[in-house]
Structure 1
Amino acid sequence: MFDLGTSFMASVARDPDALAIVDGDVRLSYAQWLERISSLVAAFDGMGLKAGDPIVTVLQNRWEAASLHWACQFAGLTIVPINWRAKPDEIDFVIENCEARAIAFEAVAGQAMAESRLAPSIPRVAVGADAGQAELTFAEMVAVPAPTANPRASADAWSLMLYTSGTTAKPKGVPRRHRAERMAGLAHVAQNLYAHGERTLGVMPLYHTMGVRSLIAMSLIGGVFVCLPRFDVGQALALIEAEAITNLYLVPTLYHDVVHHPRFAETDVTSVRKLGFAGAPMTDGLLRKLTEAFSPELFVNHYGSSEIYTFTINQKAAAKPGSAGKAGLNQLIRVVKLGAVSAHDLAATGEEGEIVALAASDEAFEGYWKRPEADAKSLRDGWYFTGDTGFFDAEGDLYVSGRVDDMIITGGENVSPVEIESCLSLHPGVSEVAVVGLPDERWGKIVVAFV
C-alpha cells in the first residue's frame, strides 16, 4: 500500500501544474507546493529530527499548517496538531504525553506558548509575523531550496496523533498510521463522489479529523484546498464565490451560520454541488433549509469519529432526515443493548442501544496513546464501543440518538434529546433549540427545551 507521501507524489506526477492550495495571495500548484514541502523536509533533517519523532502544531488553517502536515508525511514524522486556543497547561500536557521533539505555532498562540513550561525545552518554529520567541521560523525553513523530497515512511508508520476532547479527564491521544489515514481519505473521496479538480473550503480545523480528511482527500484527487484560517461567515461566503468552491464538508453549526447570514442571498453559490456534514446531528429544519438554498447533487451525512473515521454514510441526507445511513465502505456496524458488555448482545430493530463498530476496519486506530484503561472501556473483542446511542430502522438504516451519558431518564423511560430537537426545529419560529433534562422530584428528570 502507498504511504501518504507517495500518494502526494502521484498527484504531482498526474498534474504538476494544477492548483493545489490557496491562502490569500498564496496560490501554489502541486509542483510548487512540493518544492516548499521538500524544503521543510530538509529543514527537519537540519533540526536533527528522526523518523517517528512527533511535531506538535498550534496553528489555524493556513497554508503553512497544511504544508507542515504534508512535510511530516514525507519525512516519516508524526504530526500532532492541537487547538490553536490551547492553554499553556494543555500545550504542556500534549508535549509531555506525545514526547514531542519540536513545536510550531503562530501569533494567536503566542501568549500561551510564552507561558508554557515545556515549550522552551524543544525546538520552536514560529509561523507568520509576531509569533513570538522561537529557534527557527517557517519562512527560513521554506526559503532554502532543497532536492525533491523522497517519501521515507512506510504504510505502517505513524502519520499523526489527534487528541480527543477531554470532558472528565485529560484528552486521549489517537495515533493513526499512514495506511489508515490514506484509506480514510480514499473512502472520503468515494463516499462523497469527489472528482478530479474539486475545490473545497478548508475551514474545518486541521487538528480535527474532518479538516485532515478534507486536506488529504483534495490532495489525492488533484483538488484545491482553499484555506480559511478561522471561521468567519462573510469570508467563507466570499471565498465560495471567488474560488468557485465545489464541495463543502462542515459541521451543522457552520452551515446554520452560512445560510442565515444577511449576505447569503446575494452570494453566488451555484458552484457548490456537493454538501457533506459530520460532527453532530443536523436538525430536520436545517436539512430542509440547505436543500432549498444549494439544491445539491449530493447531500451526505457522515457519521464517524477520530478513532475510526467512518461508521456510516447517508448519501441522501435530505431524503431521509435524521438517518445516518448504512455502514461505510470499510466498516461493519452493530447496535447492542444499552449496558451490554459483548458486541454479540444485539438490540432489536427499532430498539435504542449503543453503536459499536468493527475495530478491524482499514480506517481504524489501534488503541489510545498510553491509555490502557480507555482501551479496556472502548475496545472489546475486536469491536469499538462508540459511546453513542442509536437504532436501526426496518430498512437497516442507522439513526444516532445521542450519547450513552446524555440520555434523559424521565419516569423510568429513556428520552433522546436529539429527537425532540429535530422535531421542534421544523417549526418556522424556531431558529435554534437545545433540549436537556432538569431534576424533578416526581419524574427524576423532566425534559426542557431552550428555544
Structure 2
Amino acid sequence: MQWTCPIRTGAETRPDAPALTFAGQGWTYRELDLEVGRWVGALRARGVTAGDRVALLATNHAVGVFLFLALGRLGAVLVPLNARLTRAELQPLTEDISPRLTLALTNLAERLPDAEPLESFADALGAPDSHCVPLETKTPRVILFTSGTTGRPKGAVLTEGNFRASARCSEANLGPHPAPRWLGTLPLFHVGGLAMLTRTAYDGGCLVLRERFEADDTNRAIDEEGITHASFVATTLERVLDARKDRPVPSTFRLALIGGGPVPAPLLERARAAGILSLQTYGLTEACSQVTTERPDEADGRTAGRPLPGLELRIVGPGGEAVGPGREGDIEVRGPTVMAGYWNRPEATSEALRDGWLRTKDLGVLDERGRLTVLSRRTDLIVRGGENIYPAELEAVLAAHPAVQEAAVVGVPDGRWGEVPVAFVATRNGVPLPEDLGTWCRESLAGFKVPARFLSIEALPRNAMGKVERTVLRQRAQAA
C-alpha cells in the first residue's frame, strides 16, 4: 500500500484548518505544507535521498516537526537522539547509523561534534520544493534507540506502516474525533511524542507542541486552547491536578493517556473527579507506542486495558507456550505496529521477533476479559518519571571508578518519580564509600540516570549460579 504526506493531503482537503502551534506561532495545513516544502528543498540540496539517515539532537521545536515531515517526502529516515544524553552516550549512536546529515539545536550542538546548528540550517531555506515520494508500508521513517537489559543501545526501525497502524488502532479504541487537538508535551525523541505527532497529522488534527512539560502551562492549554487529548505519566498527571487544585477541566477536554507504569488508584480517582478521563496504557518503542489501552467505556484503573483493535497479545510460559487468563508469563505482541527490526542488529532482531511475535521480555497476566496487568518491565528495568533506566548501564559506569570493586543498581518506589535507582557499591580493599560517585556518574550519564542513593555493601548477594540477587537488594534498599 502507498500513502502520500498527510500534510500535503490536508493542504488539499482542509487548507485553512490548524495543523501545528508552537511558541505563539501557528500553521494551517496550507502553511505547513509550504514550510515542509522549503525543508525538502534544503535537504535535497544537501544530497539527502531515500534511505539516508539524518540524526537530530533537539528538544521539542517546530523545526523538528518540519524536518520529520520533509524527510518523509524524500523517503529518508529521521534518527532523533535523546536530548538528555551526554556526549559520551551519543557518540556510539551516531557512529552506528552513519548519518548523511547531523543537526542539533545550537544549545545542544557541543554534544555532537559534527552537528550543524538546526537554526542555521533553517535560515538557509529557499523556495518550497514540491517533491513528495509515495511511501510504502515498509518504508522506514524513524530509528529510535532503546536499550535492552544488557544496556547496549539498539535502534528500533519504525516504518510508515507502523505509524499509520498505530494511529488507526488508537482511534479505533478511543473513538474518532473530527479535529483532535493533542497537547504535545512528550519529547519528540520518544516514541510517544512521535506517535502523537503522526496521529494528529493522519487524523487531520492540530498538534499543540510545547518545548517541555510545565504544569501551569498545561492547565492554561487545557483551559484556553481547546485541548482535546493529552498524554501524561503519573507524576505529570499529579502535578497538573495539584496546579489546578483539582478544578474541573472544560468539556472540550476528552481524555488523557497515561503511560510509564501503573498509576495509583487515588490519583486516577482525583483525575476523574476533575473530569480528566485517564486511560492507562502499556506500550514500548518496538511496537510504535501503545499496545494495550483501557477503553473509555470500561476504564477502571485496575489494568492497562485490552490490546488495541488490530493487535494481538498473548502471555507465554517458560517453554514458549501460550497460557490462559490468570497465568503469569512473558508478554508477546503481534500486529502491524511491530517494528521492522533493529538497525544493523540481525541477531537481536531474530531474538526479538519470532514468527511475527514481538518478544517484549516484560512480564504480565491477562484477566478473563483480556485486559493486561504488567508485572515487571523487562525484569530489571527502572522507570523513573516515564524515562527508562537500565541497571547494566549504570553498573558499567560505577565499575570503572578506581575505588569500586563491584556494583549493582535496583529500582525502589518513589512518591514523586514512581521509581528511582539505588546503587549498592562494594569498594576495593574495604575503603570507605567514595564521596564523588554522583559526580563520577554525571560525567557519563544523563542526570535522570544517576542513582538517587549510594549504599555501601561488603559484597553483592549472589545465587548458586553467581547471579546477583536483586530481590534481596531491593528489600535492603527499601529498608534503608
Same-fold status (TM-score > 0.5): yes
Deviations 1:248-295 (A, max 9, x none): 12222221221122x455685443121212232222122112111224
Match of 1:138 in 2: 122
How far the C-alpha of 1:178 sits from its partner, in A, is 1.4
- Residue type matched to 1:243 in 2? E
Residue 397, structure 1, aligned to residue 397, structure 2: no
Residue 293, structure 1, aligned to residue 274, structure 2: yes
Q: CA RMSD in A?
A: 3.1
Gaps of 5+ in 2: 382-409, 425-459, 463-468
Match of 1:368 in 2: 342
Give the match's secondary structure for 1:346: coil
Residue 386, structure 1, aligned to residue 368, structure 2: no
- Of 285, 289, 294, the residue aligned with 1:314 is 294
The CA distance in 2 between the partners of 1:76 and 1:302, in whole Å, is 31
How far the C-alpha of 1:76 sits from its partner, in A, is 1.0
The CA distance in 2 between the partners of 1:155 and 1:368, in whole Å, is 17
Residue 172, structure 1, aligned to residue 154, structure 2: yes
Match of 2:2 in 1: 2
Query: Are residues 15 and 181 of structure 1, via their aligned partners in 2, closer, same or farther at CA, if it must alter by over 3 Å?
Result: same
Does the Cα contact within 8 Å between 1:61 and 1:227 map onto a contact in 2? yes
Deviations 1:340-369 (A, max 9, x none): 242xx13342122111112xx111112211
- Residue type matched to 1:289 in 2? R
Residue 355, structure 1, aligned to residue 331, structure 2: yes
Gaps of 5+ in 1: 129-135, 408-416
**69-78 or 309-318, larger mean C-alpha shift:** 309-318
Give the match's secondary structure for 2:2: coil
TM-score normalized by structure 1? Answer: 0.81
How far the C-alpha of 1:68 sits from its partner, in A, is 0.8
Does the Cα contact within 8 Å between 2:360 and 2:378 map onto a contact in 1? no
Does the Cα contact within 8 Å between 1:291 and 1:318 map onto a contact in 2? no
- Residue type matched to 2:259 in 1? A
Query: Are residues 348 and 402 of structure 1, via their aligned partners in 2, closer, same or farther at CA, if it must alter by over 3 Å?
Result: same
Does the Cα contact within 8 Å between 1:350 and 1:392 map onto a contact in 2? yes
Match of 1:50 in 2: 49
Query: What is the number of equivalent residue pairs in this alignment?
Result: 408
Deviations 1:69-123 (A, max 9, x none): 111111111011111122223332222111101112113313313xx3xx2xxxx
Give the match's secondary structure for 1:324: coil
After the TM superposition, which residues 49-198 of structure 1 pair with which residues of structure 2 at under 5 Å, given as runs? 49-113=48-112, 116=113, 119=114, 124-128=115-119, 136-141=120-125, 144-165=126-147, 168-198=150-180
Query: Are residues 33 and 153 of structure 1, via their aligned partners in 2, closer, same or farther at CA, if it must alter by over 3 Å?
Result: same
- Residue type matched to 1:311 in 2? V
- Of 264, 274, 292, the residue aligned with 1:283 is 264
How far the C-alpha of 1:167 sits from its partner, in A, is 5.4
The CA distance in 2 between the partners of 1:379 and 1:51, in whole Å, is 26
The CA distance in 1 between the partners of 2:127 and 2:160, in whole Å, is 27
Give the match's secondary structure for 1:175: strand
Q: Identity, % of aligned pairs?
A: 24
The CA distance in 1 between the partners of 2:222 and 2:299, in whole Å, is 25
Match of 1:346 in 2: 322
The CA distance in 2 between the partners of 1:390 and 1:50, in whole Å, is 42
How far the C-alpha of 1:173 sits from its partner, in A, is 0.1
Match of 1:133 in 2: none
Query: Are residues 232 and 435 of structure 1, via their aligned partners in 2, closer, same or farther at CA, if it must alter by over 3 Å?
Result: closer
- Residue type matched to 1:139 in 2? D
The CA distance in 2 between the partners of 1:362 and 1:49, in whole Å, is 28
**34-43 or 147-156, larger mean C-alpha shift:** 147-156
Match of 2:465 in 1: none
Give the match's secondary structure for 2:153: coil
After the TM superposition, which residues 9-20 of structure 1 pair with which residues of structure 2 at under 5 Å, given as runs? 9-20=8-19
The CA distance in 1 between the partners of 2:87 and 2:378, in whole Å, is 32
TM-score normalized by structure 2? Answer: 0.77
- Of 309, 313, 331, the residue aligned with 1:333 is 313
